[in-house]
Amino acid sequence: MEFRSASWFVFFSLFVWGELLAAQPCKEPRELIEMLGNKNIKSSLEWIDASENRAVETLISLASIVSPSGKELARALFIAERMRAIGLQDVHVDAICNVIGRIKGRSGSAIIFINMIDDLPEVADLQNTGKYYPHRVEERVIGPATDIQSMAAAVLLAAEALIRAGITPEHDIVFASVAQEETGLTGMKALFELWKDHAIAWVDVLGDGQKIVYGAPFIHWWKIIAYGRGGHTEEKLSNVNLGIVRAVDSILSLPYPKQCEDTFINVGMIQSGRTYNHKPESGWFSLDVRSMSREIIYEIDTEVRAILGRVKEETGIRLEMESVTILDGGQVFGARESRLVQLASEISLHLGYQPTISPKGCCNMIVPVSHGCIAIGLHGDRGGQRATAEEWASIQAMMRTAKYITLLAACF
């Protein structure tokens, strides 16, 4: 018992000391100083400044392609063609529509830069009306799909800048435009399996680096299926929709989101019958639960199962939980003090902003974090009003992001 207490005290002391050290401002690391003095890198950064119109044209092309999650092939082929044109090596589109290209390094290891290429269904719906086209208005590009795809344009611009610099990096610099982020991180899971034995760092590009995240939430996605007896409206049968409604009401009434910071519960989809005069045999609803706490998310899972049991007793409708995605994120020990986080922080400072550094990540970086790998997400300025006709991307944020990626890739 004394040994366990002493061990815990040592661990806690080291953790606190590490956090205090990490919070202290430090001088620009040697790698960044050297790269800022490298004439080829300086020339590449100047080239980015002079390539604003090129980046805007790329963004407009990307956002003009309809690319809902699961149907990204056209956008993937466009990105692959651009990757080949700028000189990336081993460019290919996989079966999921991930697009991957790289600059080969010396070590055999790799740093992976990720951006997403799929859109929400609402974005595709707006594009398919034929009423909304991406276009530039002063310092913004406006139109459906512009917000997220400004990051894809920034990644392509940075890749070209690095090719122009002519440097041979220490590690492979891999650029991965990832499909199906919105529908379960399918593309990211496949990418991770492909590169997990070689990647020493993962960077999810979602903004200009004003915020750097290094941890990830626990995310559990469930499809909850209701089963009953189908029949005509006039038949005296229990309706599966009654079971669904009661279950959804009880689940959304759980107190966790109000009582626990960074815990969220959402029912995003409900589906059942197809006609007015027929009681459906089955139906289902989606459940998205996420929390920064392992204990809380598994407690919610238990509560949901109890709710489904009570609903069956009350209505006779059987409800079953079908797992869709289980991602147990958390924090990788030492991530906050890692070279990746420290270097990223200094690049943010160099670009003129004091970054917010947080363990609360999201999106594709959840996959490597859940496997204990060092990963960061670059957040910050990007755009706004996503999935609306007024969606927009900040051109200056896109250009800053391109510079950020160039420096981080060259220095790491």
The structure tokens 């956008």 sit at 75
Task: Determine the length of the chain.
Answer: 412
Query: At the topology level of CATH, where does 218-327 sit?
Result: Alpha-Beta Plaits (3.30.70)
Measured over all CA atoms, what is the biggest interatomic distance in the chain, rounded to whole angstroms?
81
| Residue among 397, 384, 399, 383 at smallest CA distance from 55 | 399
Q: Which residues pair with 294 in a beta bridge?
A: none
d(C-alpha 401, C-alpha 88), whole Å: 19
pTM of the predicted model as reported, rounded to 2 decimal places: 0.86
Residues 6 or more apart whose CB falls under 8 angstroms from that of 364 comprise: 114, 116, 178, 181, 185, 187, 188, 204
d(C-alpha 118, C-alpha 155), whole Å: 15
Domain range summary for the chain, segments of one domain joined by +? 26-216+329-411, 218-327
Per-position pLDDT tens, the chain of length 412? 333 333 333 333 333 334 433 433 444 566 787 778 888 899 999 999 999 999 999 999 999 999 999 999 999 999 999 999 999 999 999 999 999 999 999 999 999 999 999 999 999 999 999 999 999 999 999 999 999 999 999 999 999 999 999 988 999 999 999 999 998 899 999 999 999 999 999 999 999 999 999 999 999 999 999 999 999 998 988 899 999 999 999 999 999 999 988 999 999 999 999 999 999 999 999 999 999 999 999 999 999 999 999 999 999 999 999 999 898 888 898 999 999 999 999 999 999 999 999 999 888 999 999 999 999 999 999 999 999 999 999 999 999 999 999 999 999 9
What CATH number belongs to 26-216+329-411? Answer: 3.40.630.10
Q: Which residues pair with 119 in a beta bridge?
A: 68
